Amino acid sequence: MSNATQKTATEARAELKSVPHTPGAPKPDAILVVDNIVRDFGGNRAVDVDHVEVQRGVITALIGPNGAGKTTFFNLITGFDQPSSAKKVFGGPSADKAAKWSFNGKLLGNTSAASVAKSGMVRTFQLTKALSRLTVMQNMLLGAKDQRGESFLAAFVKPLWAAQEKANIEKAEDLLKRFKLYEKKDDLAGSLSGGQKKLLEMARALMSDPVMIMLDEPMAGVNPALTQSLLGHIQSLRDEGTTVLFVEHDMHMVRHISDWVVVMAEGRVVAEGPADTVMSDQAVIDAYLGAHHDTDLGDDSLLEEGAMDAPKKEKK
């Protein structure tokens, strides 16, 4: 944690003060710029984002009622899904309407999920994807970038990759200690608790030294005792210079650690701003209430959203 990066993180946050609180507001130092992303499922438009920017070096939260398209949006920009508005050889939208997004100055449209991750934008999943029948350590080592031993021919000759492997193991051990998983390193990942799997997934993502880490509901299913340390980890990531974008339902977490909040509803970005301002925004309240008007009362997801409603009503 050098002084320089600390300063950058603080500076980056300071820069946000001048950003207007409107959807799609330009950021002084945007790391991710997204234009015209549309995704249709059958007749339903799940995501319809005209423009959104994410500031480098801060923690940005992406919130919204269930079905707002947050996870789909995540999938789209990380290459796990293709936008309906993608450029096509024949037909498709005109050039200025076509989906376009860039990360760290590099265009990402039509890029595979693997290359997105290679370019430094690494994600985790809402339902953890720990590789159950590999050990915790093997899970970690998979996260490391540019491994020589992953090329087929080099794999046969251990001396070619042994040194790099050793360095990776040391790095993995450091991370595991930090995430309090070191004692578990030789256990199968499948034997970990839900919260530990979340931690493992985050630690594994960090093995590649990402420029930006995207967390899909990092708190879901994590027991309260672990929550605090998870929050701490995310904040220290930012302080070390990593940009964080996360989707979350837990408003406590959103308010506690996010520097900037983007609100989605029915696929669109409806509001942006610092946590406390956004919560009182009429558009946001409408979005949540509106969502409820349309929701089938038999829907389980209401239970989850109930938790979110509580603080909001208090505020009013």
Q: Which of 17, 88, 133, 313 binds another protein (CB under 8 A)?
A: 133
Q: Which of 27, 39, 100, 123 binds another protein (CB under 8 A)?
A: 123
Is the distance from CB of 313 to CB of 285 less than 8 angstroms?
no
Scanning 49-57, 171-179, 200-208, 230-238 for contacts with another protein by CB under 8 A, the matching segment is 200-208
Instruction: Tell me the two tokens of residue 230.
Output: 């998870």
Q: Is 163 in the site for another protein (CB under 8 A)?
A: no
Which one, 183 or 299, has the nearer CB to another protein? 299
> How far apart are the C-alpha atoms of 225 and 6, rounded to whole Å?
28
Residue with tokens 């970005």: 269
Q: Report, in Å, the least distance between residue 162 CB and another protein.
A: 10
Q: Report, in Å, the least distance between residue 182 CB and another protein.
A: 20
Q: Is 247 in the site for another protein (CB under 8 A)?
A: no
Q: Which of 31, 54, 98, 130 binds another protein (CB under 8 A)?
A: 130
Short-list 205, 195, 184, CA closest to 230: 195
Q: Which of 19, 30, 131, 169 binds another protein (CB under 8 A)?
A: 131
Burial group, residue 17, by CB count within 10 angstroms (0-12, 13-18, 19+): exposed
Residue 135 has φ and ψ, to the nearest 5°, of -75, 165
Scanning 2-10, 21-29, 53-61, 205-213 for contacts with another protein by CB under 8 A, the matching segment is 205-213
Q: Is 169 in the site for another protein (CB under 8 A)?
A: no
Number of residues that bind another protein (CB under 8 A): 42
> How far apart are the C-alpha atoms of 72 and 50, rounded to whole Å?
15
Q: Is 185 in the site for another protein (CB under 8 A)?
A: no
Q: Which of 10, 22, 44, 151 binds another protein (CB under 8 A)?
A: 151
> How far apart are the C-alpha atoms of 43 and 40, rounded to whole Å?
6
Q: Report, in Å, the least distance between residue 113 CB and another protein.
A: 4
What is the bridge-based pairing of β-strands 243-247 and 44-55? unpaired
Instruction: Tell me the two tokens of residue 303.
Output: 């239970």
What is the bridge-based pairing of β-strands 59-63 and 243-247? parallel
Q: What is the 3-state secondary structure (H, E, C) of 163-222?
A: HHHHHHHHHHHHHHHHCCCHHHCCCEHHHCCHHHHHHHHHHHHHCCCCCEEEEECCCCCC
Tell which positions 276-305 bind another protein, by CB under 8 A.
none
Which one, 188 or 275, has the nearer CB to another protein? 188
Which one, 36 or 124, has the nearer CB to another protein? 124
- How far is residue 225 from each of residues 80, 192, 231, 275, measured CA to CA in Å? 32, 16, 11, 24
Instruction: Indicate the residue type of 279.
Output: M
Q: Is 155 in the site for another protein (CB under 8 A)?
A: yes
Q: Is 52 in the site for another protein (CB under 8 A)?
A: no
Q: Is 145 in the site for another protein (CB under 8 A)?
A: yes
Q: Which of 19, 169, 188, 302 binds another protein (CB under 8 A)?
A: 188
Tell which positions 60-119 bind another protein, by CB under 8 A.
78, 80, 112-115, 117-118
Residue ranges binding another protein (CB under 8 A): 41-42, 78, 80, 112-115, 117-118, 122-125, 129-134, 138, 141-143, 145, 147-152, 154-156, 158, 161, 165, 188, 204-205, 207-208
